[in-house]
Amino acid sequence: MSKSIFNKIDGEFILSFTETITELITKFISSSGYSSVFILMTLESMIAPVPSEAVMPFAGFLITEGQFTFTGVAIASTSGSLLGSILSYYMGLYGGKPIIKKFGKYLLLDEYHLKLTEDFFYKHGEKAVFISRFIPIVRHLISIPAGIAKMNISKFILYTAIGATAWNMFLAYLGYILRNNWTQIHKYDKFIDISILIFILIGFIYFINKRLRSRKKSLS
């Protein structure tokens, strides 16, 4: 029984899903190159349980090894993110909620998370497509409500490309600077996600406050 898959706690072996997925991902990338980054990020941008935090840092590490380049990683990851997002967009556009509810369970789609993502999209509008790339869970699902809402496809692709490139290359750069310690990133996943959410919240509060002040001035 592999120690990389099972951790012994209180005399029992408990399956470490994240560790297993990470191990499979690194082996796939090592053997398949850029095409694996493209495929994995396509799945990550849909509703498959493929975390970008397990893909992109290792791609960054391989840049230090000379196997990848920043340009190659950027093209492969962004192209994959776009393809996955566009497929999910059209899934929402043509299938809508009925098909999602009917077949979502076979694709590991959590309806509760989809509902939260829908609420997030309708609350923040089209910019939610960009913002969501930095938010866990939401980034996997945001394309579906965008399709259901019939968001302009050109805007959707633009916001997705900008947000996905920024997030993907941020993770790749972390893997690059950490080199052999790239796996340490997983210990700080929640901290990174929370920090980004706080940053977005501060920006949102600032925006609202600015709008309220300008409205008061116009009324005075």
Q: What pLDDT does 23 receive?
A: 76
Q: What pLDDT does 95 receive?
A: 78
CB distance 150 to 121 below 8 Å: no
Q: What angle do CA 49, 55, 58 make, to 5 degrees?
A: 150
Domain coordinates in residue numbering, the chain = 33-189
| Token code pair at residue 10 | 């209180």
Q: What pLDDT does 46 receive?
A: 83
Q: What pLDDT does 14 receive?
A: 32
H/E segment holding residue 9: strand 6-9
Q: What pLDDT does 19 receive?
A: 64
Q: State the Cα–Cα distance between residues 43 and 54, nearest whole angstrom.
A: 13
146 contact partners, CB below 8 Å, separation of at least 6: 89, 92, 121, 126, 128, 129, 156
Q: What pLDDT does 158 receive?
A: 94
Q: What pLDDT does 109 receive?
A: 63
Q: How many CB atoms lie within 10 A of CB 104?
A: 19
Q: State the Cα–Cα distance between residues 133 and 166, nearest whole angstrom.
A: 9
Q: What pLDDT does 104 receive?
A: 62
Q: Is 206 exposed, middle or buried (0-12, 13-18, 19+ CB in 10 A)?
A: exposed
CB distance 56 to 175 below 8 Å: yes
Looking up tokens 């920006």 gives 203
Per-residue pLDDT of the chain (220 residues; tens, 9 = 90+): 444 433 443 333 333 455 666 778 888 898 889 999 999 999 988 877 788 888 898 899 899 989 999 999 999 999 999 999 999 899 888 877 676 666 666 555 666 667 777 777 877 777 888 888 887 777 878 888 888 888 999 999 999 999 999 999 999 998 898 876 655 555 555 555 545 455 445 555 555 565 566 666 666 6
